[in-house]
Structure 1
Amino acid sequence: MEEKLNLTSEWDKTFPKSQNVDHRKITFHTRYGLTLAADMYTPKTYEGKLAAIAISGPFGAVKEQASGLYAQTLAERGFLTIAFDPSYTGESSGFPRNVASPDINTEDFLAAVDFLSVQENVDPEKIGILGICGFGGMALNAAALDTRIKATITSTMYDMTRVNANGYFDEEDNEESRYEKRKAMSLQRTLDYKNNDYAHAGALPDEAPEQAPQYLIDYIDYYRTKRGYHPRSQGNGKGWNVTGCQSFMNMPILQYSNEIRSAVLMIHGEKAHSVYFTKDAYANMIKDNKYTENKELFIIPGAVHTDLYDQMDIIPFDTITDFYQTYLK
């Protein structure tokens, strides 16, 4: 069921290794025949079966970055965690490389729950997920599908279907703008097939151009500096496939998020350019939902989008821990 992957053995994370947890590489498969690579973090000492959490994101990042930091930190706090590379990225399988899909990337989370559910040291009734940035949207979408997921956290969430269809701040939310995007991607597909290769959009620049928006400056500060740089992430190399997010324009996620019965905590920074994604998704999730007592919105004063990637003094790990301890008990 699983492809043999060539995984790195050395510690190549963007954060220091904790001496309080055990770490090992694992793989698991999706129902689309893809094999995903992950890091598993387990508390050094524990009794009985553990509550478990699957973590991924940000969109374009790899498990050696923010998701691994979250996973290791939560393992220090008593949870078994896995941080995985999404399909077609990082060390996970899939060709062509560097493409994304609202369905396949939601399935990535569901497949992680499959894996955790059958581990001997995991209580299958105590499984949660956590999605960062674009994978916050995927996590919320997974929670709307999978009743095995008992607690979901989104951190600095993007709704990737909304931003692809409407542009940032919904400034391209009109038929003409979407038509031009469709036209460009359609032409690119012909070129790619003719060239027997897939064009890539390129990496982030090393320095922000003049008058760049603050969020681009923040992304460069994370992905292109020693703070968060990793050679397998989208911050380096070829970047995303040019047509890699095409399907997001016509397949919106979160359609039935207001039917989620399990617990959800949505975290975002007050000053993040992306905060409207979380505020609107939270409002939609609780609208006409009979199960609102276990839904929480947590806005962090002064924080920007990328602060929640790695700033340990800003990421509310105490709040995150309390939430999982409450709903994975």
Structure 2
Amino acid sequence: MNITLSRKKFIHGALLAGAAIVAGAQSVSAATPDAEKTAAIPMTQTWDKTFPKSDKVDHRKVSFKNRYGITLAADVYLPKNRGNKSLPALAISGPFGAVKEQSSGLYAQTMAERGYAAIAFDPSYTGESSGEPRNVASPDINTEDFSAAVDFLGSQAAVNREQIGIIGICGYAGMGLNAAAVDKRIKAVATTSMYDMSRVMSKGYNDSTTKAQRAEVLEKLSQQRWVDASAPGARVLPETLEGVSNPVIQMYFDYYRTPRGFHERSANSNGAWTATMPLSFMNMPLLTYIDEISPRPILLIAGENAHSRYFSEDAYKAAAQPKELMIIEGADHVDLYDQTNIIPWGKLDAFFTEHLK
């Protein structure tokens, strides 16, 4: 067996096993302002988002630690003219392989315009957050990242810690649902273009991976551990779309590799996940306890034409009441990343207004 696999071939064939990017007990103690200072890491201070800055919000960059000691970098958005009001708050992350300067930041800024204290954060090992090796994902650690963001929000004077919700986008929607199931401080959770990364990595799209194919992927991942898995890899998406006919790759390319959504720190825009990243997702189902989010509410939003729509539909079936599934007519998966005329801001606002009280 040749175990020194081509990075690009490995990522396409084994890394995500048909997943989105290529084929397209006690509460943690709340962080304190002093903890925020000790968690400081170098961060770009200039406005380098993929969306314009709003004059309706105040913005600052912050950092804080999760319970694994990893320092997370984040952007906090607060409505201007808020006075001394104690605000409802939202922790936001995703899509999978994106950074806070992309979709999650757009969501955070827009929800801040509507009166929320909102934080968009880079998950562990990605973007400006710390952690080595770079570009690693973990169903456990990335679930914890949401709770660490709740820790941070609950320590802020402007935030009512009894009114904290989360929004997860794409692959971090699954992690957000998992966080809500275990962290009872999260009062409501909304997702857009939800992916269950553990399901798609272990079973492929529409659960199409056979046992033999799964065994082959695990064999390749296991053998890859003999190789330097933390070495830089080939970029996830191709240089151009020449010769690419897969519509899912074309869709992701249109967001991540064009001026529409490109960001130099995004793994999907400009880099690659480590080759063995899928290992921890292969046998740790994220949504096992989704029914335990109840009686706290869930809002699942998906595009009518999204290849990922079935994840939201299946999560809706598995969740307990109160729950709601919203299908956006004519929208695909990536439209809900940044198309401000399609993302249902009014619905998100109404949902959190009702349930963060």
2-structure distance, mates of 1:68, 1:198:
29
The match for 1:257 is 290
Q: 1:287-315: per-residue Cα shift (whole Å, max 9, x none)?
A: xxxxx1x3111011111000000001100
The alpha-carbon deviation at position 211 of structure 1 amounts to 5.5
Distance 1:148 1:38 in 2: 20
- Does the 8 Å CA contact 2:88/2:159 hold for their aligned counterparts? yes
Where structure 2 has 5 or more consecutive residues not aligned to the other structure, the ranges are 1-34
Partner SS, residue 245 of structure 1: helix
State the shift of 1:260 in Å: 1.3
Match of 1:180 in 2: 216
Greater shift in the superposed pair: 9-18 or 259-268: 259-268
Q: Is the 8 A contact 1:7 1:91 kept in 2?
A: yes
2:94 aligned with 1:57, yes or no?
yes
Q: Normalising by structure 2, what TM-score?
A: 0.87
Distance 1:6 1:118 in 2: 22
Q: Which structure carries more relative contact order (alpha carbon 8 Å, separation 6+)?
A: 2
- Does 2:350 match 1:316? no
Contact 2:174/2:195 (<8 A) preserved = yes
Q: Does 1:274 align with 2:302?
A: no
Instruction: Tell me by how many angstroms 1:225 deviates.
Output: 0.3
Cα shift readout 1:57-111 (whole Å, capped 9, x = no counterpart) = 0000000000000000000000000000000000000000000000000000011
**1:178 shift after superposition:** 1.1
> Deviations along 1:27-52, whole A, 9 cap, x unmatched?
11100010000000000011420000
Three-state SS of the structure 2 residue aligned to 1:235 is helix
After superposition, residues 87-236 of structure 1 pair within 5 angstroms as 87-172=124-209, 174-192=210-228, 197-208=230-241, 210=243, 212-236=245-269
Match of 1:245 in 2: 278
Q: CA deviation at 1:322?
A: 0.4
1:26 alignment partner in structure 2: 62
Give the equivalent residue in structure 2 for 1:12.
Answer: 48
Q: Residues 92 and 104 of structure 2 are in contact (CA less than 8 Å); yes or no, is this contact kept in structure 1?
A: yes
Rounded to whole Å, the distance in 1 between the matches of 2:100 and 2:244 is: 31
CA contact (8 A) 2:40 2:64 kept: no
CA distance in structure 2 between the aligned counterparts of 1:201 and 1:102, rounded to whole angstroms: 23
d(CA) in 2 for partners of 1:32, 1:62: 20
- Which runs of 5 or more structure 1 residues have no equivalent in the other structure? 287-291
- Which amino acid in structure 1 is aligned with residue 78 of structure 2? T
Corresponding residue for 2:74? Answer: 38
Which amino acid in the other structure matches residue 87 of structure 1?
S
Q: 1:289 aligns to what?
A: none
Alignment coverage as a number of residue pairs: 319
Checking the alignment, whether the CA contact within 8 Å between 1:270 and 1:301 is kept in structure 2 is yes
Residue type at the aligned position of 2:211: E
Report Cα offsets for 1:212-265 as digits up to 9, x if no partner: 322211100000000000000012333111111211001111111112121110
Q: CA RMSD in A?
A: 1.3
Q: Which amino acid aligns with 1:248?
A: F
Q: Percent identity?
A: 56
CA distance in 1, matches of 2:304, 2:122: 28
TM-score scaled by structure 1?
0.94
What secondary structure, in the 3-state scheme, does the structure 2 residue paired with 1:267 have? strand
Q: Which runs of 4+ in 1 moved over 4 A?
A: none
AA aligned to 1:34 is I
CA contact (8 A) 1:12 1:64 kept: yes
Q: CA, structure 1 residues 199+16, in 2 after alignment: closer, same or farther (shift >3 Å)?
A: closer
Which deviates more from structure 2 when the two are superposed, residues 66-75 or residues 277-286?
A: 277-286
CA distance in 1 between partners of 2:292 and 2:186 (Å): 14
1:300 and 2:328 are equivalent in the alignment: yes
